Amino acid sequence: MIETLSTNRAFGGTQGVYRHASAQTGTPMTFSVFVPDHAPGATLPVVWYLSGLTCTHANVTEKGEFRRACSDLGLMFVAPDTSPRGSDVPDDEAYDFGQGAGFYVDATQAPWATHFRMRSYIEQELPAIIAAQFPADMARQGIMGHSMGGHGALTIALRNPGRFAAVSAFAPIVSPLHCPWGDKALTGYIGADKTAWRAYDACALIADGARVPDILVDQGGADNFLTDQLKPHLLVEACDAAGIPLTLTMREGHDHSYYFISTFMEGHLRWHAERLRA
């Protein structure tokens, strides 16, 4: 059962924010869904958007500028939170670990393992809710994300072959095995054995045989995380070696913010719509 927190009319559709009690995280979880107007009984293809560090569902919902394009293209847009939250949920003082930084993993280390099950929440629990409660065509799904959420979108698509007809990312963390954010998060959530990390690293998954039809990535050239954390050249190398078509566009002058994301959001949605035959 889900609770409706708000609904607003916008661009020929309805933007809703919802909450439910998650069995996976053991906490309330909030998510947003934009549903374009559609014929009675019709179902719509679904695009998932996974947010980055420090974000909730609200960042893209309020600043992503996706609704006009989704309405024009007939796409549902689903934006989950980035982690479990609550006074009883473990946290960390740093922005890049704990609440707001779930990294889309199922944690195995104490004290995180009890609640930090974002992989199962995004891959299993929330899709079942979307399928049951909204006019979603679950045979036509795409997934996209930003930064940590780009990492989530890439790895979830690679681990679930055939589920997503389209995958794209804005400034994704392409290889947590090779960046400080990933080293901190995966050590804390998964443990020191780096072989267990490979399920959460897009480049490692590709090297280990995972495949998607193609990938779209936009990266800001003025992104201050580009060199140390994001390293898109590693994804280029992995896709080249595997024969996965990758469209990577460097957007000079653009940073890591929603000014960047919102500028190129429509292009990503049109790219998804083509693959979802929307």
Active site residues: 147, 223, 256
What is the CA 86 to chain-centroid distance, rounded? 21
Q: Name the token pair of 153.
A: 């979108």
Q: How far apart are CA 18 and CA 2, in angstroms?
A: 6
Burial of 63 (0-12, 13-18, 19+ CB in 10 A): middle
Per DSSP, the three-state class of 230 is helix
Residue 200: alpha-carbon gap to chain centroid: 13
CA angle 120, 125, 128 (to 5 degrees): 140
Beta-carbon contacts of 81 under 8 Å, excluding residues fewer than 6 positions away, are 29, 30, 31, 51, 56, 57
Per-residue DSSP letter, 155:
H
If you write DSSP's letter for every residue of 157-216 in order, what string do you get? Answer: HHHSTTTEEEEEEES----GGGSHHHHHHHHHHH-S-GGGGGGG-HHHHHHTT---S-EE
